[in-house]
Amino acid sequence: MNPTLEAILCNRQLIDAGGVIGLGLFALAAARIARESRSPGARLMAIGAELLLLARLYSLMAPHVLSTDVLLAIGALGNALTIGLPPLLLGFGLCGVVGGLWVHLRHLRGLALAESPRP
Amino acid sequence: MIRFQLPLLLASTEMDEMIRPVFLLVMGVLLVVFAWRIAKSASACNARLIVVGGLMLGFGYAVLLPILETAEIMAHAAPARSHAVTAETYGWHTVVLVVMNGGWLLFGIGMALHAKIWRVPGTRGKTSLHHCS
């Protein structure tokens, strides 16, 4: 195998950790913006980023945690949730981040329009 | 019993398999546009981080993930070929891994620097968020 590919595949935990850290920083930044500029979009962005973070952590953890015993113990509803919930969380999280960015930009533009003097 | 299967039905119907790539594509393109517009109000270094991260995320969400999901759907449709783990599969997964995680890392660091989450409170007054256009 190509040594670069092999190096990347051997360090995939590190790269995944980088992605999770970036997502957490994004959630922190959105929460800070929401607190300081009172923008509803930033709040939505923070919620979306946290949903994405939850789904990402779950998908990283699932192969190590979900064994056959666990799947038997959590029953039919739990089984359905393990299959159905992560795509839903990823979808809603992405939707929240993008919609939050949009609402936040509209909020900023509204602020700029309100502050600029009308001729 | 149908009540318990509701999330399963929501996540894995055929309609969802058709909608999901389109949804990812639209979201990726919108993410690039909004990252570009947010970066216009950031300082040069942060703007560069946000734009590069947003472009990587947009490429990942709009191009790589729909292709990968469609390929997986096709592989499910043709089960004879689904067990062949080739170098091509490894390459796809490596590229997706690096692009998505790197994109979130750069975008997150750029947004964190832009929002000044490491600023000590009360030292320099307001952040730049209050007067960016």
- Is there a contact between B31 and A98 if contact means CB atoms under 8 Å apart? yes
Q: Where are the domains of chain B?
A: 19-131
| Contact with chain B for residue A1, Cβ under 8 A | yes
pLDDT value at residue B133: 44
Closest residue of chain A to B30, computed from CA coordinates: A98
Residue A108, token pair as written in the block:
């900023």
- Chain A positions in Cβ-Cβ contact with residue B91 (cut-off 8 Å): 5
**Number of domains within chain A:** 1
Task: Write out the DSSP string of chain A.
Answer: --HHHHHHHHTHHHHHHHHHHHHHHHHHHHHHHHHHH--HHHHHHHHHHHHHHHHHHHHHHHHHH--HHHHHHHHHHHHHHHHHHHHHHHHHHHHHHHHHHHHHHHHHHHHHHHHSPP-
The answer to whether A94 faces chain B, any CB pair under 8 Å, is: yes
B16-73 pLDDT per residue, tens: 667 888 889 999 999 999 999 999 888 888 999 999 999 999 999 999 988 888 877 6
- Nearest by CB to residue B104, choosing from A22, A88, A91, is A22
A8 has a pLDDT exceeding 70: yes
Asked if B92 contacts B68 with a C-beta cutoff of 8 angstroms, the reply is yes
Q: Rounded to whole angstroms, how far apart are CA atoms B33 and B103?
A: 15
The answer to whether B50 and B39 have CB atoms below 8 angstroms apart is: yes
User: Does A15 have pLDDT greater than 90?
Assistant: yes
For residue A107, the enclosing domain spans 3-115
Distance to chain A for B80, nearest Cα, Å: 24
Interface test with B, best of A16, A20, A32 (most B CBs within 10 A): A32
Which of A6, A15, A74 should be substituted to probe chain B, the one whose Cβ sees the most B Cβ atoms within 10 Å?
Answer: A15
* B61 vs B25: CA distance, rounded Å: 6
In whole angstroms, what is the distance from residue B128 CA to residue A62 CA? 40
Closest CA to A100 of B101, B21, B34, B22: B34
User: Which residues of chain B neighbour A38 with C-beta distances below 8 Å?
Assistant: none
Asked if residue A62 lies in contact with residue A81, where contact means CB atoms within 8 angstroms, the answer is no
- Summarised one tens digit per residue, pLDDT across range B87-121 is 777 788 889 999 999 999 999 999 999 988 887 76
Q: Flag if B117 and A21 touch (Cβ within 8 Å).
A: no
Q: Is B81 helix (H, G, I), strand (E, B) or coil?
A: coil
How does residue A92 score in pLDDT terms, banded at 50, 70 and 90?
very high
Decide if B108 and A102 are in contact by the 8 Å CB cutoff: no
With tokens 């995939």, the residue in question is: A12
**Per-residue DSSP letter, B130:** G
Structure tokens at A66: 């979900």
Residues of A in contact with B112 (CB under 8 A): 25-26, 28-29
The CA distance from A58 to A83, in Å, is: 11
User: What is the DSSP-derived secondary structure letter of residue B120?
Assistant: P
